[in-house]
Structure 1
């Protein structure tokens, strides 16, 4: 959402307060969702509503100026810069300043990259290239929300050129706009199953939402008589507004994170917003509700409120190293609204009204370029780990944090801790090399190392699953005798499953699981170990997997339950909450759903009820006092997980020695 969604005081457009009110509905939905997601599970669709509003307003301006013969690219982009840059530059500068004193270098380095991406209106592309199994949690990215700004600005670069190019054939304008919208929608729907990140972030898959607003603008500008007659029909006008309101309401409460989005589900908010705009300012819902003074006021500050709210929420979470509570969430909302009002009142309005001989556009572009350059410098300099102004205690924490620094493309922690070998990533069908180079691919690697599936001995144990299965290899290899070959087919983000059932239709996951089943059928390992990060027994069926393995000749199947999951990363919790006195165990910041899941699975599959043995990793790492933070005497090298929940090599060894290894050996002795 960007400043194009602000009410535009343009001579060719009649001001519609109800559109400001619709904008208020959108921003309230987004802010409530980010602060209290349980209240409004589909609140994130407010961004889709902003897309429609932006398409309507901007296209109305372009179409009217083309119609009267005074469209100018220079004027168009000058207006966009003057609208967008003032508030954006302010928020980015404040965000950077806070990060300077509060963020560890890893996060500050990422902030620098996102600063440049946000100012360059390419944040959606930056985030798409980052998205993956090893990506930092989105809650730690203060400028995550600028992805939508990127989508809109990329549309504004292309659409005026297209509209101007086909204007000489006026009859072609509607088919072109409609055709582009249909192509964009169909492409997004087709892309969603195989690459959800691309369908969400990449502009060509989201342009149809903005073009929906363009279609409403087309009819309003070029067929005003027909539109007027439609709106004069009270029953039809009210029906359109009511239907639009209902569709948006359904979207807000029925859509949630687990839905495949955008895809077909995005039709609800997009159609709802389009219908409300098309119904006109005189429909009762629009006139009474959306055009009310409070809603209009919220709509007027919606752009700076959008810019501020996620920055405020994220820094509260980062500094406090905790999820938002009712109190902190309320504080975040109040502070965001206050900052938005001050920005609107003392930055946007004065800049808009100022009569100055200074080249305002050139000044804004220069300031924006400076912000982007500072961001890139911070990124290139690895987050300036010992930047001036940091207190000594912050520098001590920074030294600790640098040990776990693992950003792409270096993957320094992976190299330092030997994760590539410990997790046996040569057995992973995910194209790690391309991902590391910034070119994530859903296609499988051509092959994995032969040592992953060709045994050296007659006795064989096999590991199958995702990286949460990979993490057990290091410990097992140290514990099991050399007479036992450990086979492994485990790919990042791929729960053990049957081919064709991979989440998001990932081709490399289907290939990984197909190959795993082939290895199981051919080698008939004595013991099969299955583990995964998420979706235990919901995205797959442990009973079916165990039954299939036993039919193929596997004697024993062990399913390892989830390990403790933390939010934020465990080392960040130590730094921000337990630095001066680090306990051996903690209860805070644990994602409790995994503990509850483990208890359910343990009850359900006790005594081999599912045809396999269930081994609780939670029971090993956690007790009544909390979950283990570190092993031995060093809270750095002995940390149990290096991120939200992947085990470090020492933790893998400890689990293998005390729990998994003895269970495997006991099953081998039963053969």
Structure 2
């Protein structure tokens, strides 16, 4: 296979891309949207792949085996080192449950499907829960390989099947088609579009379009430099914008990719000042090590976040320095030598660079899962914590939150299960769901059967919508409204003895509650609408013959208390409980307390359960109970804590479900 002429300006553009990404991931505010550097890489890849394949076909030298042999030896050696090193570090530092999840992500990463995996298991690429995942950045490598599996075949078939003069027109048409698809997803599937291969195809194809146009477009020197300057400014304009991530790739991605394509298309002009700048030695060097820098920088930051190391300027500087050193060593001693091995037989390449790492990552995942994340890597005290958490873990709870893949009537029922048991329905959001053990303990003593239904981030009150809420930007959270309607239809039809509503009540007191589209939004209007909706809910419940029960939200902190608790474990330090205890936040409580009291006066049957009575003492709330963490994330409590709070509640108060 023939190689194309080396373009130092393309390496310079790679440098711009990796610097965008590097500064973004470091947390520095220089490029608030520096994640767009990945989109630059996609355009460059599309250009290079298409150029190499098209020229080789034109010269009758193209070979799929040689193409994939070169690609594998170009990318896989460093990639395999990443998997090995990160796995060893995960075995050293990761908590058992986290290690199980890491091993699964490594398995998915090894088969180039990590983009789909992270789309399912994270709330989003930009979410706070994503910055501790050391392989998160491999989503882009998975998309790159997915492109390698498809684009060469398409280009080959088009080269063989259509006249040369039609090839660029077809590629351009495909670019427009997939651009339209990406823009559609950016508004109709905004929360998941970031990771989708189908949303990124147009970026590769823009690079392909550039590869198929004439190598030098005749342009006046002034016009050429003006176009290039505007294109370069467009890159920095997009990278320095804020709040463009929702629904990305979107119009900003199009602007960035067209600008990148313009710089590549005009890069052969010797009179281009921008091209000369991109071809300077410092930028070219960074471009040469950009792949290794991309591979290694994210795990460095991810482990810093995971270990709870404070993200100071000093920490960021050290992390950037370590990333650069690792990148240089990786490029010098892995990337460069590995490229010389691309002459090996393809069968050996498949064994060493695909079959072995895939097999090892799958075996690693199976072993770690079967041995529950190897908890005995830690002290006996810590092992006991994990055993307590596992013992009280409710497996079915998670499957009863959100869309159901199980028979909810049998799978999501708990409490007493006697033929003469009273019946109840528990609805709400994830705070209702995390109260499973608490209500289960009370219900068993009171001989009450509980059917649990919950929708994440959903205020389960009738007659309202959540608008511009969480990932539902500029739209209504339809699933919440539909599920809430279903709940109240069930209440009317089944005449339960109790209907229990559990919510993160204070979490909905922003400006997102409306009655209909185009309603004016404000905090006072939200409170008014919630008051009316709660009144309507209680009226529906009591009218059906049920007794309404409200569970107040557990106390929570603004910081991740699970991380606070386990920080000492990860760093092999002694834990001091007072380090993680926190003050009860009361700023929204007066209004909610007043609302609940008013409703209790109107509906005398209304039962109010407040778990904070046993969670907090004199305004100070515990982060652990019996040496076991209360929280499993920022706000949700563990099943162990849910059970222990119920026991404490029954010791101090009468069981409210015994009527």
Interval of TM-score (by shorter of Structure 1 and Structure 2): 0.7 to 0.9
Distance 1:531 1:15 in 2: 58
Between 1:567-576 and 1:46-55, the stretch displaced more is 567-576
- 8 Å Cα contact 2:206/2:257 also seen in 1: yes
Superposition deviation, residue 621 in structure 1? 5.0
Question: Residues 609, 493 of structure 1: CA spacing in aligned structure 2 closer, same or farther, 3 A cutoff?
Answer: closer
Match of 1:140, SS? coil
* C-alpha spacing 1:419/1:643, structure 2 compared with 1 (3 Å): farther
Distance 1:664 1:189, change over 3 A: farther
* 1:3 matched residue in structure 2: none
1:577-603 Cα offsets, whole Å, 9 max, x none, are: 5x6643233349x9xxxx99x565457
Residue 29 (structure 2) pairs with residue 65 (structure 1): no
Instruction: Report the counterpart of residue 217 of structure 2 in structure 1.
Output: 228
Flag the 1:485–1:361 CA change in 2: closer, same or farther, 3 A.
closer
Deviations 1:476-528 (A, max 9, x none): 56558959997864223545474584744776444323324546788798985
Q: How does 1:579-618 map to 2 (within 5 A)?
A: 581-587=574-580, 601-602=588-589, 607-608=594-595
Matches of 1:371 and 1:526, distance apart in 2: 52
Q: State yes or no: 1:242 paired with 2:229.
A: yes
Is 1:544 the equivalent of 2:529? yes
Give the conservation status (yes or no) of the 8 Å contact 1:81–1:361: no
Judge conservation of contact 1:385–1:398 (CA < 8 Å) in 2. no
Which residue of 290, 294, 316 maps to 1:302?
A: 290
Change (3 A) 1:520 1:431: closer
Q: Give the match for residue 140 of structure 2.
A: 148
Unaligned runs of 5+ in 1: 1-9, 406-412, 434-444
Q: Which residue of 1 aligns with 2:363?
A: 377
1:399 to 383, 407, 414: 383
Q: In the aligned structure 1, how far is the partner of 2:598 from the partner of 2:186? A: 35
Does the Cα contact within 8 Å between 1:401 and 1:572 map onto a contact in 2? no
Question: Counterpart of 1:409?
Answer: none
Q: For 1:145 and 1:514, locate their aligned partners in 2 and report how far apart those are by CA, in whole Å.
A: 40
Deviates more, 1:15-24 or 1:534-543: 534-543
Shift of 1:301: 0.5
Counterpart position of 1:436: none
Native 8 Å contact 2:427 2:454 kept in 1: yes
Do structure 1's residue 40 and structure 2's residue 31 form an aligned pair? Answer: yes
Q: Tell me how large the CA RMSD over aligned residues is.
A: 4.7
Matched, 1:490 2:454: yes
How many angstroms does 1:307 deviate by? Answer: 0.5
Match of 2:430 among 467, 492, 504: 467
1:337, 1:420 → 2: CA distance? 43
Q: CA deviation at 1:57?
A: 1.3
Q: After superposition, what is the alpha-carbon deviation per residue over 1:263-313, rounded to whole angstroms, capped at 9, x for unaligned?
A: 444324323322332343547562354222221111111000001111222
User: Do the aligned partners of 2:100 and 2:369 also contact (CA within 8 Å) in 1?
Assistant: yes
Which one of 170, 174, 179 corresponds to residue 173 of structure 2?
179
Q: String of CA shifts for 1:214-271, please: whole Å, max 9, x gaps.
A: 112122xxx34xx521xx2234423432332333223223244862323444324323
Given the two structures, how large is their TM-score scaled by the length of structure 1?
0.76
C-alpha separation in 2, matches of 1:272 and 1:659: 63
Distance 1:387 1:604, change over 3 A: closer
Task: Give the equivalent residue in structure 1 for 2:280.
Answer: 292
Does 1:431 pair with 2:423?
no
User: C-alpha offsets along residues 328-375 of structure 1, whole Å, 9 cap, x if unaligned?
Assistant: 222111001011111112222233357x98659825741543222221
Give per-residue Cα distances to partners, 1:57-100, cap 9 Å, x unaligned.
11111222222332221221121112112222222222233333
For the residues of structure 2 that align with 1:297 and 1:649, how far apart are their CA atoms?
Answer: 52
Aligned residues: 612
Q: 1:419 aligns with which of 394, 417, 421?
A: 394
Question: In 2, Cα distance between the equivalents of 1:156 and 1:213?
Answer: 14
Which piece of structure 1 moves more, 520-529 or 502-511?
520-529
1:352 and 2:339 are equivalent in the alignment? yes
Partners of 1:560 and 1:122 in 2: CA distance:
38
2:140 is aligned with 1:169:
no
Find the residue that maps to 1:203 and give its secondary structure.
Answer: coil
Conserved 8 A contact 2:20-2:35: yes
SS, match of residue 382 in structure 1: helix
> What whole-Å deviation, never above 9, does each CA across 1:426-467 have from its counterpart, x for those lacking one?
5x442255xxxxxxxxxxx89898979xxx99x999755321
With the length of structure 2 as denominator, give the TM-score of the two structures.
0.77
CA distance in 2, matches of 1:448, 1:132: 28
Aligned to 2:630: 640
Q: Structure 2 vs 1, CA of residues 130 and 483 (structure 1 numbering), >3 Å: closer, same or farther?
A: closer
Task: Please give the alpha-carbon distance, in whole angstroms, between the structure 2 residues aligned to 1:97 and 1:451.
Answer: 41
1:83 and 2:68 correspond:
no
Contact 2:65 2:346 in 1 (8 A): no
- Report the CA distance between 1:631 and its aligned residue: 1.8
**What is the 5 A alignment of 1:182-581?**
182-192=176-186, 195-196=189-190, 198-219=192-213, 223-224=214-215, 227-229=216-218, 232-256=219-243, 259-280=246-267, 282=269, 286-318=274-306, 320-322=307-309, 324-353=311-340, 359=345, 362-363=348-349, 365-382=351-368, 394=378, 396=380, 399-400=383-384, 402-403=386-387, 413=390, 416-419=391-394, 426=400, 428-433=401-406, 464-476=427-439, 478=441, 482=446, 489-496=453-460, 498=464, 501=467, 503-504=471-472, 508-516=479-487, 518=489, 529-531=502-504, 537-540=510-513, 541-551=526-536, 554=539, 560=553, 563-564=556-557, 565-566=559-560, 569=563, 572-577=566-571, 581=574
Provide closer, same or farther for how the CA distance between residues 377 and 43 of structure 1 changes in structure 2, counting only shifts above 3 A: same
Q: Deviations over 1:4-49 (max 9, x none)?
A: xxxxxx9553332222122111111111221215443212111111
Distance 1:155 1:618, change over 3 A: farther
Partner of 2:7: 16
